[in-house]
């Protein structure tokens, strides 16, 4: 009988990796091993290698697999757009690696960062259930889930919508100019990348969120009612597993660190 494993795929950068490792520790408590895929060639840093060595020594059920080196983007576009472009370039590497892992293990689930949406299609084509892991808030998930509708209902860049407030289920009124930086400008390729990511959210088998009901009752209720999704009757299941808290020396989690 093949062993069973859960494959995790964080976006590049120490903050994303740490949050996935904390999820892997939780998964281990349910008697599953995990394999964490790591990109190579963008936002690499010696501190990441040192962190991985320490985690591997302390947790024998957490395995790391380095994807082949991929050249970092060189186009003169925004940092976020370069970030997303690099991740998309790794989609073939992810597909190959999932195939290799499946030759010796049964992949019970593939858990991806929202920014790694480009890996959803190859995993789904292999009949592997795909889940998103949201390391930030339920309110943030509600906002991103509503983003495609907000996009359809507006025509200007948020940065130009001075004085306009957006009403998003699960969130307090939000000034358009205070939307997340990568989606402030419709002329930034990152805007369209995130729109694509958010369009795929309802296609996941489920969404894992680092939060809990008592912390965000309004956002949790809005997500449970399907108010944030295009079709409330077909909203994906949302699982709250927080709080996952990293060790003190690795507690800083940043989206674009």
56 Cβ partners below 8 Å, 6+ apart? Answer: 62, 63, 64
Looking at 28, 30, 59, 113, which residue is catalytic? 113
DSSP state of 226: T
146 — phi, psi (to 5°)?
-85, -10
Query: Tokens at residue 60, please?
Result: 């024998």
Separation of alpha carbons 80 and 118, rounded Å? 15
Separation of alpha carbons 224 and 227, rounded Å? 8
- Annotated active-site residue 151? The verdict is no
- Annotated active-site residue 185? The verdict is no
Query: Could you tell me where the DSSP H helices lie in 103-238?
Result: 120-125, 138-153, 189-200, 217-224
CB 34, CB 6: distance < 8 Å = yes
- Find the helix or strand (DSSP H, E) in which 57 lies: helix 46-58
Active site residues: 16, 113
């Amino acid at each position: 009988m093949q062993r069973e494993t859960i494959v995790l795929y964080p976006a590049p950068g120490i903050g994303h990796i740490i949050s996935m490792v904390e999820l892997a520790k939780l998964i281990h408590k349910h008697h599953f091993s995990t394999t964490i895929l790591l990109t190579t060639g963008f936002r690499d840093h010696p501190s990441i290698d040192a962190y991985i060595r320490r985690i591997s020594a302390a947790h024998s059920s957490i395995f790391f697999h380095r994807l082949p080196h991929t050249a970092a983007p060189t186009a003169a576009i925004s940092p976020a757009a370069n970030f997303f472009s690099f991740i998309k370039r790794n989609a073939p590497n992810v597909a190959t690696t999932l195939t290799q892992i499946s030759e010796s293990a049964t992949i019970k689930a593939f858990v991806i960062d929202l920014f790694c949406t480009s890996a959803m299609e190859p995993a789904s084509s292999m009949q592997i259930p795909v889940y998103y892991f949201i390391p930030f808030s339920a309110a943030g998930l509600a906002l991103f889930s509503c983003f495609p509708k907000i996009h359809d209902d507006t025509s200007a860049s948020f940065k130009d919508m001075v004085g306009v407030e957006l009403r998003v289920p699960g969130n307090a009124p939000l000034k358009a100019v205070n939307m997340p930086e990568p989606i402030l400008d419709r002329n930034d390729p990152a805007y369209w990348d995130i729109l694509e990511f958010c369009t795929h959210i309802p296609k996941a088998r489920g969404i894992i969120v680092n939060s809990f009901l008592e912390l965000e009752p309004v956002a949790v209720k809005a997500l449970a009612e399907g108010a944030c999704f295009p079709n409330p009757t077909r909203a994906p299941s949302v699982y709250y597993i927080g709080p996952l808290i990293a060790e003190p020396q690795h507690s800083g989690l940043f989206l674009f660190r």
